[in-house]
Amino acid sequence: MKLIYVFDAYCGWSHGFSRTMSEVAARHPELPIEVVSGGLFIGERRQPIGNFGYVPAANAKISDLTGAEFGDGYQRLISDGSFVMDSEAAARGVAALRNAAPDRAVELAGALQRAFYIDGHSLSAPETYRTIAGAAGLDADAVAAAFQGPAAQAAAEADFHRAAELGVDAYPTLLATEGQRVIPLAVGHATADQIDQRLATVTATTTS
């Protein structure tokens, strides 16, 4: 069995889920986890954040439900409504970080979301990835360069295709796969205990 975590770095609900996802990874080191970027803000949805009037209320709900923090840096970044969330750029960053440390993909995805939602760093800026990589003990220059390279672009496009192939159109989504079976464990929000309960059911069904 393995887990597939489909998220979008510019998705507030994914930010709220990142603590749960970290706990699931810590509880289940025996389960490989594939981290896939979704394309929430691409194409016509790649617009200034001020055009999405639901964001403040959604963030408040996410914070109440999950305890996720939306920091002062983030509030300053979005305050005039002009900041553009570009999920393609964020997916390139995920790919660059994931390639640098494949076994730390969940950890680095969480760091990327904190960089935006707490510190207010654009996920379109190479310097953001230099900072995250340096803090994680990775080669900061190499990660920043990879973010801007063709391999990360191809990986981002492959991630969007992978998410669509899995039928995922809501973020975050956590799936378990066993052979040809794909079983949803969480969509939007769940606690680590709830996911453990669902995993136990999947395991029991698989072994029976």
Structure tokens at 67: 């305890």
Give 191's Cβ-side CA count (13 Å radius): 5
Q: φ, ψ for residue 51 (rounded to 5)?
A: -75, -10
Residue 187: what residue type? Answer: V
Quote the CA–CA distance of 64 and 59 in Å, as a whole number. 9
- What is the average per-residue pLDDT within 59-69? 96
In this predicted structure, what is the pLDDT of residue 11?
97
Q: Is the confidence at residue 208, as pLDDT, over 70?
A: no
pLDDT at 20 over 60: yes
**pLDDT, tens digit, 9 for 90 and up, residues 163-173:** 999 999 999 99
Give residue 203's pLDDT band: very low, low, confident or very high (50, 70, 90). Answer: confident
Mean pLDDT of 78-87: 96
- Residue 41 and residue 33: Cα distance in Å, rounded? 24
Strands 2-7 and 181-187: unpaired
Give the pLDDT mean for 185-192. 96
Q: Average pLDDT of 31-39?
A: 97
Residue-wise pLDDT tens digits, 110-143: 999 999 999 999 999 999 999 999 999 999 999 9
Interatomic CA distance for residues 133 and 50, integer angstroms: 30
SS3 call for 193: helix
Q: What is the pTM of this model?
A: 0.95
Rounded mean pLDDT of 24-50?
96
